[in-house]
Amino acid sequence: MTVSAQDLNHVLDHTRDLWDDLRGERIFITGGTGFFGCWLMESFLWANDRLNLGSRVTVLTRSPDSFRERLPHLAGHKAVTVLQGDICSFNFPSGTFSHIIHAASESSQNIDETELVRMLDTIVGGTRRALEFAVQAKAKKFLFTSSGAVYGRQSPNVEYISEDDVAKWKLSEPVNLASIYREGKRLSEMECNIFTQTTNIETKIARCFAFVGPYLPINAQFAVGNFIRDGLAGKTIEINGDGTPIRSYLYAADLAIWLWFFLFQGQTCHPYNTGSGQAISIADLAKTVAKHVRPTPKIEIFQKAQSDIKPERYVPSTQRAQTELGLQTWINLDEAIKRTLKWHRRI
């Protein structure tokens, strides 16, 4: 199921002046079948068709058959080439590609604690492979989707994390999925810096936080997705913790705008926080989802909040993206959830 014309026009309206950079060119996307990748594919093809760009996209996937079955409107588009391969070992397609987006990464939901080395190898090795391909393909610009996880645990006394707040790794820290994921993304950012210093490729870095919208999995580790799943199923929305952690959510259509701006106009090796600065507690997030579902679901919070402990936070400062590129949150959370629910009711 494609996303709405309303959302795709929203992306195009805010990126229209960017696309000449891609006219007649080829773009390569890893992770093109995931949440980020689907939005990049949808918005690229929408712009390509309406602006007559004459551009093409090659998307890397481990399972082309699954991609074609799940998303035939993307996989079957005349401007799309599907390449089978693993991010760490894929065979380089021939020819030049002017722009490369590396959005593929191993998610902690797909592995367990016994596979930490594989997770690190996939994140770091996959980024290196994508960068090596960029060199062969004579790419001009390369976008890496990093993560807000590089900052480590945000202090409850810090309202917004800025791009200068990267945590220092300590040998005494426990080695687990979260720490491996964080260090993998940080090492990948370092690889981007190294390749920029030794090649002519402009590498752009998006440190991504939390999002909501069509294509976000609703049976994974994402709280907002799980709330939407339970609400649509007529079930009680369950919060396993105390509901106090503070998060923020950028709508997927706005996310697509941000990522295209970073690729085309972002400064090289100059990370940009990617997310919303509009903070909300997990409990209030559940209430926001519930109010848009009929019948209104119950909300159950399994733990009691402790008044003497400040809520955990994971909220970015987006000042850099706003100041340098004019980016903002155009679609607020309330509207974002309404649009996401509407999309799920259609599929």
Which tokens hold the place of 331?
């679609």
Per-residue pLDDT reduced to its tens digit, 219-247: 988 999 999 999 999 999 999 999 999 99
pLDDT of residue 241: 93
Rounded to 5°, the CA angle 345-220-117 comes to 150
Give the phi and the psi of residue 64 in degrees, each rounded to 5: -60, -35
- At residue 209, the 3 state secondary structure works out as coil
Q: Which CATH class is domain 212-248+276-347?
A: alpha beta
Per-residue pLDDT reduced to its tens digit, 237-277: 999 999 999 999 999 999 999 999 999 999 999 999 999 99
pTM of the shown model: 0.95
Residue 120 has pLDDT above 80, yes or no: yes
Per-residue pLDDT reduced to its tens digit, 5-62: 999 999 999 999 999 999 999 999 999 999 999 999 999 999 999 999 999 999 999 9
Looking at residue 95, its amino acid is G
Per-residue pLDDT reduced to its tens digit, 130-168: 999 999 999 999 999 999 999 988 988 899 999 988 765
**DSSP codes, 37-49:** HHHHHHHHHHHHH
- At residue 313, the 3 state secondary structure works out as strand
Q: How far apart are CA 305 and CA 317, in angstroms?
A: 26
Assign 335 a pLDDT band (cuts: 50, 70, 90): very high
Q: How far apart are CA 161 and CA 152, in angstroms?
A: 10
Give the phi and the psi of residue 308 in degrees, each rounded to 5: -90, 5
Which is nearest to 222 in space by CA: 252, 188, 249, 190? Answer: 249
The ranges assigned to domains in the chain are 212-248+276-347
